[in-house]
Structure 1
């Protein structure tokens, strides 16, 4: 059974407690700012200014790379032909990224909104819709002061990519459910062990409540701990319920996309 994607916002998790921490970072004007977020590198991927998916900064030489799910940024192909619209039938629109997003209503963007310059997706997704290629790397533009998004969220906050991970791994998964049922726009998180998905053994699987629509693209971070940003092994792709979530394990093809994005 093909899992339902959890990208464009429609529902969210109510009453799911998000961890809290205070990180002293910098605003777009280079002023000190206390950001209440345990994961400042994780935020909301926006399409035309609206919550679309989840995304996260991934460690890179220039600090300009963000990871998310392929279905969040490119239509699914079929039979070797490109798709025309996103998975929910809507146009994707102009993309931007707001790390450490929070707050009621339209939300706060304490670390700014970063324009997506380029999108890097595997042809296995754009032509054939293969779930094992449902990942993407985005190059984001620097801010008006020339700083990278990784500089602003904290160089030590972005997990490094892992291209050769095993399937069974202790991970922390972080995502932003849609504000319909998550009115304060707080990230939800779960630390658990991954395994093979029963329906598709090539996909990673976790069982954690609260990962509703809007959490597609959520980072799956291994080896995270005090003083350790951890290793990014995949991003949330889909799941039949808010409890069941899947991800494509990063591989050599993902590495090529990442390297292309990092050169941007």
Structure 2
């Protein structure tokens, strides 16, 4: 895909990332800094926690690339290797909660200088510190120059309340073809976050431990055939084309549907896939697609990330969420993120 796009003479620009120096399979992985030192991370946390979380409450759904014109196709997806699974770590919070507490919102400052949010989810890793979301909910695709500012993750977000724990992003990982060539078939990012923090009585920050220890982490599925049932979890908020707006963006929503191959008509994307879902675009960007989801453990295998939604039958209501196909290249990006230790900022 990279060579094909280059041959078309498409003008592209680097986002200020550096190719990670790693063995063969990870050669297509790039990384970019978010808040790489404690001082910058503390400033990011303070920005969101100040005034009782005023910036969190005032943030709006990220409205970049919320809708795409697309068609469902009958052809299958092409895996680049054998199908595989990375196991989940069990959701550890109260069983009274009926939805996965691994899912939450990522907050950041956009190119417009305003606070916005997308959906994201915690993923299992050795250091219990990895978050998955759409690539363009981390990398700033509206301007050349790197990542979105003051990036933090709030798992289990609900109802606009000030979060119990906030996790600041340190490094972001994505695929070379998304970073350089804007191949939206690679629009996935994995982010390492520091230990969680809460405000202390002295006005500073108190360490609340690692993300995975607090909420668990979803597994990862790759090179899988289309699934008859996938559960999508996200915070949809925007209206349908006909003006109806069934979601508020304040509570975690769930939809279940089958997956299939797609063609995108107005985005360059190598092998995108779709899932039957009524979610609107704003707010649901970054929603997790969980394969073999269990309501008992509230875990499954991440097998897709919503990068946009589409009305494929022309009735002015969204019916499909769109994701890159999770193949061995996605596994390579995840594997690099899973190696990185982060630590505390308190």
Instruction: Give the conservation status (yes or no) of the 8 Å contact 1:9–1:53.
Output: no
Between structures 1 and 2, the one with greater helix share? 2
Unaligned runs of 5+ in 2: 1-60, 67-90, 197-205, 240-244, 312-317, 341-346
Q: Does 1:196 align with 2:261?
A: yes
Aligned counterpart, 2:225: 166
> What is the deviation of 1:252?
1.8
Aligned counterpart, 1:20: none
Aligned counterpart, 1:147: 209
> What is the deviation of 1:206?
1.5
> What is the deviation of 1:100?
0.8
TM-score w.r.t. structure 1 length?
Answer: 0.75
Post-superposition Cα deviations, 1:130-172, rounded to whole Å, max 9, x if no partner, equal 121010000000124362111111x3xx221112221234210
Bigger Rg over Cα: 2
Unaligned runs of 5+ in 1: 1-6, 13-22, 26-32, 78-82
Work out the CA distance in 2 between the residues paired with 1:8 and 1:117.
21
Aligned counterpart, 1:75: 140
TM alignment of 1:178-197, pairs within 5 A: 178=237, 182-183=247-248, 185-197=250-262
In structure 2, relative to structure 1, the CA distance for the partners of 1:179 and 1:98 (3 Å cut) is: farther
Work out the CA distance in 1 between the residues paired with 2:280 and 2:145.
24
Give the one of 224, 232, 236 matched to 1:177.
236
> Quick check: 191-200 or 176-185, which moved more?
176-185
Work out the CA distance in 1 between the residues paired with 2:96 and 2:179.
37
Aligned counterpart, 1:131: 184
Instruction: Give the conservation status (yes or no) of the 8 Å contact 1:100–1:111.
Output: no
Instruction: Give the conservation status (yes or no) of the 8 Å contact 1:172–1:220.
Output: yes
Work out the CA distance in 1 between the residues paired with 2:145 and 2:254.
30
> What is the deviation of 1:121?
1.4
Aligned residues: 225
Name the Cα RMSD after superposition.
2.9
Work out the CA distance in 2 between the residues paired with 1:178 and 1:9.
10
> What is the deviation of 1:43?
0.5
